[in-house]
Structure 1
């Protein structure tokens, strides 16, 4: 699906540039030299996260209930595999971030450098509980990893708990609507999946909408709900999510999803997007530490430092993808944990 790769590639680079314009003395210098560009990146670069949320919901629906049917199997192994897929490279990345932060702290006196990590703080990140426990982040943007896992687990449970296929879909779509109209309007809930489930649910609905015979009804439903939520309370992030969801539904139904854009570059950047996201902040810290101790501050020097740092982040992401993300992606849940999961489900009333 090259269109998905292209969306992820573009979104990951926007998030990267958003952090470029936000953290450290290089960001300050860049903002002073290119104020309009920096202001746009600070204000709007973070909106690219909505692309990830919608794409994640789209792929979750494809993997969990491609035909819109009830998830009959045990959801715990699926949730466990998702945890391993996200957490193993994430733990490696935050461990690198802790080491690099300690090094950068010797050269750089800046709020961008996290405080020295504690074991409890690191452990909260390992179990993806750093947001809900209020632990200080060890790297930039790591809240998203925990939210991604929460969203997948929540959707898997909703699809499994439904007694009938229609009930499961209504549970997913009902929670998405509740999120769009209520939960997403309360910023105090932004450490929980329900805050983001509107965008995630739009992505899931886009997959189900693109099935043969459903396009008009489902697209009408998606558009109506999305527009109504925007009329109630306009949020640019929801407008972006709605646009991406409609694009994915139309493109899959028309076949464009598998045909365009045909290019190795976007496919490559899409594949390494998670690794770039995970590892770019330590590289950014080191670059800021070096920049803070360099003499030139003219526009040419700032441009050079920005481009070199950008390239270094991509290079680090390539290495991380090859040597950490891909190998850890082959790790599977131990048989003992699967057995415990089966026993836990059998103990639930009516699910034996």
Structure 2
């Protein structure tokens, strides 16, 4: 039986968001995306236009899980403790990230022999790679080596900001006040201006909603829970009022995901027992858990398979046929390949690298 610490909605959202983002990128890049659109124009257009909204799920989930982790630790008492926590988060992200970057560079080198497309990019430079290693590529205005790596940089920024706030204001009420202000200003102002998209302030609206969702229910102090609920409700009121002026689907989606986590985020797999008798989880739950654990690695690796699929499609002359079914089949192969490779990256790199931490 699965551990009681596995939560169905959390694992499902991680899996769903990763699949959706991969499909969004498959519908966005290269000749296979163009030709697959000939066969399924509605589906491909939908994925291209709306698949990117899965980022909001990632952000809310990121805030929810970060608040869960940081609120349970007592190691944020000094500036040194906060710095150690932030560095450990960097080390947790780093190992699979750098392996995926190197694989993407190799696949892009192969793709440049056949694929003449802007998404492949120019040959990577040492400075560009170094900027990626320190999550600075967006801030420095450099081209991304892989699709989606910007999110890893932003996730680390947001985690660091939340750790800093909890270190400075351990009483939580001040943190909740600050989160409320940051959420409202981000959702209603900064998130609508492209010049801020490489900085935490652009994304902290959704991330902060996830953090507040965690504090609304799961923090042991009921006074903190009540205060977090009030602030969460006020953010909802602000979103509704602002929607009368201009409707932003991503704000509504982020708020709905956060609400779902408040009500169902602690639904553990063990709750699937009938008549209070323990049973083995359904195979579907096992599949969700398997995918959830590997979702970060799949997210990191999928662009390499998009490059390879387009290289194969063009290099073997299949693109001259403009066969939508063949292009769609290659897309599905890239999707499956991403998750198969993610399994090995997870087992061989991500899990062993968890020992890399400062004690």
> Partner residue of 1:272?
294
Bigger mean CA deviation after superposition, 181-190 or 37-46: 181-190
CA offsets 1:150-187 (integer angstroms, 9 cap, x no match): 00001111111127432233223322222223222222
Aligned partners of 1:58 and 1:205 also within 8 Å: yes
Trace 1:258-337 onto structure 2 (pairs within 5 A). Answer: 258=269, 259=271, 263-292=285-314, 293-295=316-318, 296-333=321-358
Q: Which residue of 2 aligns with 1:110?
A: 117
Q: Which segment is superposed worse, 81-90 or 216-225?
A: 216-225
1:17-52 CA-partner distances (Å, limit 9, x unpaired): 000000011011111221111111011101001111
Does residue 137 (structure 1) correspond to residue 144 (structure 2)? The answer is yes
The number of aligned residues is 331
- Of the three residues 235, 239, 256, the one matched with 1:225 is 235
- In structure 1, the gaps of 5 or more residues are 336-352
1:316 positional shift: 1.5
Alignment partner, residue 186 of structure 1: 193
Distance 2:249 2:15 in 1: 21
CA–CA distance in structure 2, aligned partners of residues 15 and 257 of structure 1: 26
Q: Distance in 2 between matches of 1:163 and 1:4?
A: 26
Aligned equivalents of 2:194, 2:327: Cα separation in 1: 35
1:13 to 19, 33, 36: 19
Q: Is contact 1:159-1:169 (8 Å) kept? A: no
With structure 2 as the length reference, what TM-score do the two structures score?
A: 0.86
Instruction: Identify the residue that residue 32 of structure 2 maps to in structure 1.
Output: 26
Deviations 1:176-219 (A, max 9, x none): 22222322222210100011001011001000101374666644
CA distance in 2, matches of 1:270, 1:277: 11
- Distance in 2, matches of 1:66 and 1:246, equals 21
Q: Distance in 1 between matches of 2:100 and 2:170?
A: 40
Match of 1:44 in 2: 50
Cα deviation for residue 62 of structure 1 reads: 0.8
- Match for residue 170 of structure 1? 177
- The residue aligned with 2:278 is none
C-alpha displacement of 1:230: 4.2
Change (3 A) 1:134 1:257: farther
CA distance in 2, matches of 1:46, 1:146: 17
Aligned partner of 1:82 among 71, 75, 89: 89
What SS does the aligned partner of 2:77 have?
Answer: coil
**Mean CA deviation greater in 70-79 or 56-65:** 70-79
Which of 261, 270, 277 is the equivalent residue of 1:248? 261
Considering only aligned residues, what root-mean-square deviation do their CA atoms show, in Å?
2.2
Distance 1:301 1:168 in 2: 53
- Answer whether contact 1:248 1:257 (CA < 8 A) is retained: no
3-state DSSP of counterpart to 2:112? helix
